[in-house]
């Protein structure tokens, strides 16, 4: 392919050095500058020179132009020849020449306000049965004085004179790639497209003010630590008439001094004295649903588990209720008085109280080793 058009516009040869191209560009753009040259067609010629120089002054674009023609050099930054080498990639180019890319989205568009997060502490039982909690916090809300317009009451925002309501303006900048046109957020209205001549005294034109806010949170039965409840519209005020953000209430459940919870299951540890364990008994056992009587059979051992059906926590969704497990711990008596000791000796003498024979364990082996000494 023979692409010489851009070279011809500047009046240089195809193998011209960067210096020659620069000199030619200066000379030609002076000659055809619309402020100087009033001839018909001069303005178009000037634009053509700018276009040619934009491509040929950049080594990458020039190489691409030589290879693919104008389409290669100008087919957008994603096109052939411009792979971003030496610029750190596509993103960097945007942030360098297009004002951080922020201007690419319409700043006038309604935008939802920020979400907020609030942590609430629940008692162990509140998490099981559910609760209603009032939470109070400060948030950015719509200004009450100006109802969000930002203008002093009795006045209204007017269409911005600088951007004519677009919220963005075009700025021409000389860059290493030549003259670049970029869109930036309007510096007068800051993207709102409207100008406030007489700002509201409460919010100074932002349309937002900090306000104390209280909402009632309905905590469902069966919640657990770390779960979140979303309250739509209870976050911060939106922008350009956009909706409020949401409030996320994060659950933190306090530990209980009696119970441990594992999802829908509640665990309880019951201490028994060795007489209760040996002879059996009926004992009151606390549950989150109230005390229940538990029958302990004769000869109950430490570690034995009893299930109290339906005495656990409810499922968060659905109507199931978990169980409570009671784990037995037999406590060996200490500080026996003489009468008790005598009774136990009589007890021992009354019959065989040996525990079931066990295989030789570690401690027996240690004991054997000492016996040999």
Mark the binding-site residues, compressed into ranges: 143, 146, 160, 163, 186, 189, 200, 203
Tell me the site size for Zn ion, rule CB under 5 A: 12
Fill in the DSSP letter of residue 207. Answer: S
Between CA 104 and CA 108 the distance in angstroms is 11
| Range 220-249, binding Zn ion (CB under 5 A) | none
Return the residue of 186, 219, 247, 270 that touches Zn ion, per CB under 5 A.
186
Q: Which stretch, 57-65, 198-206, 299-307, 363-371, contacts Zn ion (CB under 5 A)?
A: 198-206
**Interaction between residue 164 and Zn ion (CB under 5 A):** no
Tell the burial category of 295 from Cβ atoms under 10 Å away from its Cβ (0-12, 13-18, 19+).
Answer: exposed
**Interaction between residue 57 and Zn ion (CB under 5 A):** no
How many whole angstroms from its chain centre is CA 295?
51
Q: Which stretch, 157-165, 171-179, 211-219, 326-334, contacts Zn ion (CB under 5 A)?
A: 157-165
Tell the burial category of 98 from Cβ atoms under 10 Å away from its Cβ (0-12, 13-18, 19+).
Answer: middle
Q: Which stretch, 68-76, 197-205, 214-222, 327-335, contacts Zn ion (CB under 5 A)?
A: 197-205
**Interaction between residue 146 and Zn ion (CB under 5 A):** yes
Output phi, psi for 149, to 5 deg.
Answer: -75, -25
**Interaction between residue 203 and Zn ion (CB under 5 A):** yes
Min CB(238)–Zn ion separation in Å: 15
Question: Distance from first CA to last CA of the chain, Å, rounded?
Answer: 103
H/E stretch holding 214: strand 208-219
Min CB(82)–Zn ion separation in Å: 32
Fill in the DSSP letter of residue 101. Answer: G
**Interaction between residue 151 and Zn ion (CB under 5 A):** no
**Interaction between residue 202 and Zn ion (CB under 5 A):** yes
Between CA 210 and CA 138 the distance in angstroms is 6
Give the nearer residue to Zn ion in terms of CB position, either 146 or 219: 146
Q: Which stretch, 35-43, 62-70, 146-154, 320-328, contacts Zn ion (CB under 5 A)?
A: 146-154
**251-to-114, 126, 227, 350 alpha-carbon distances in Å:** 20, 11, 5, 58
Return the residue of 73, 160, 266, 277 that touches Zn ion, per CB under 5 A.
160
Give the nearer residue to Zn ion in terms of CB position, either 147 or 232: 147
**45 SS3 class:** helix
**Interaction between residue 163 and Zn ion (CB under 5 A):** yes
Contact predicate 332/344, CB 8 Å: no
**Interaction between residue 265 and Zn ion (CB under 5 A):** no
Contact predicate 265/311, CB 8 Å: no
Give the nearer residue to Zn ion in terms of CB position, either 199 or 286: 199
Min CB(50)–Zn ion separation in Å: 27
| Range 126-145, binding Zn ion (CB under 5 A) | 143, 145
**Interaction between residue 189 and Zn ion (CB under 5 A):** yes
Fill in the DSSP letter of residue 99. Answer: G
Between CA 267 and CA 272 the distance in angstroms is 16
Q: Which stretch, 128-136, 201-209, 283-291, 353-361, contacts Zn ion (CB under 5 A)?
A: 201-209
List the binding residues for Zn(2+): 143, 146, 160, 163, 186, 189, 200, 203
**Interaction between residue 196 and Zn ion (CB under 5 A):** no
Between CA 67 and CA 1 the distance in angstroms is 7
Min CB(196)–Zn ion separation in Å: 10
Return the residue of 200, 219, 277, 313 that touches Zn ion, per CB under 5 A.
200
Output phi, psi for 210, to 5 deg.
Answer: -70, 130
Of 190, 187, 194, 186, residue with least CA distance to 151: 194
**Interaction between residue 106 and Zn ion (CB under 5 A):** no
H/E stretch holding 211: strand 208-219
Min CB(155)–Zn ion separation in Å: 11
Structure tokens at 313: 């926590």
Binding site for Zn ion (CB under 5 A): 143, 145-146, 160, 162-163, 186, 188-189, 200, 202-203
């Amino acid at each position: 392919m023979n692409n010489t058009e851009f070279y011809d516009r500047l009046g240089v040869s195809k193998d011209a050095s960067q210096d020659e191209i620069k000199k030619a560009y200066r000379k030609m753009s002076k000659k055809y500058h619309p402020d100087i040259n009033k001839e018909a067609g001069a303005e178009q010629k000037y634009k053509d020179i700018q276009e040619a120089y934009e491509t040929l002054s950049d080594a990458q674009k020039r190489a691409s132009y030589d290879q693919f023609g104008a389409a290669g050099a100008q087919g957008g930054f994603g096109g052939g020849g411009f792979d971003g080498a030496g610029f750190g990639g596509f993103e960097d180019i945007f942030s360098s020449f297009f004002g951080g890319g922020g201007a690419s989205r319409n700043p006038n568009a309604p935008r939802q306000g920020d979400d907020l997060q609030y942590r609430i502490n629940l008692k162990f039982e509140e998490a099981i049965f559910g609760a209603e909690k009032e939470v109070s916090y400060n948030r950015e809300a719509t200004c009450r004085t100006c109802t969000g317009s930002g203008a002093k009451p009795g006045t209204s925002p007017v269409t911005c004179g600088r951007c004519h309501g677009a919220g963005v303006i075009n700025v021409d900048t000389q860059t290493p790639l030549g003259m670049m046109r970029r869109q930036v957020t309007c510096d007068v209205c800051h993207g709102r497209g409207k100008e406030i001549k007489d700002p509201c005294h409460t919010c100074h034109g932002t349309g937002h003010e900090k306000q104390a806010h209280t909402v009632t949170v309905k905590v469902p039965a069966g919640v657990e630590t770390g779960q979140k409840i979303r309250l739509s519209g209870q976050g911060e005020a939106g922008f350009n008439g956009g909706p409020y953000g949401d409030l996320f209430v994060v659950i933190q459940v306090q530990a209980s001094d009696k119970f441990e919870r594992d999802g829908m299951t509640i665990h309880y540890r019951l201490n028994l004295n060795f007489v209760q364990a040996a002879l059996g008994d009926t004992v009151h056992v606390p549950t989150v649903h109230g005390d229940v009587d538990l029958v302990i059979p004769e000869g109950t051992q430490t570690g034995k588990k009893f299930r109290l059906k339906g005495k656990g926590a409810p499922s968060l969704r659905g109507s199931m209720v978990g169980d409570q497990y009671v784990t037995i711990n037999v406590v060996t008596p200490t500080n026996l008085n003489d009468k008790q000791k005598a009774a136990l000796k009589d007890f021992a003498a009354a019959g065989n109280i040996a525990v079931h024979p066990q295989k030789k364990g570690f401690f027996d082996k240690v004991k054997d080793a000492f016996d040999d000494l």
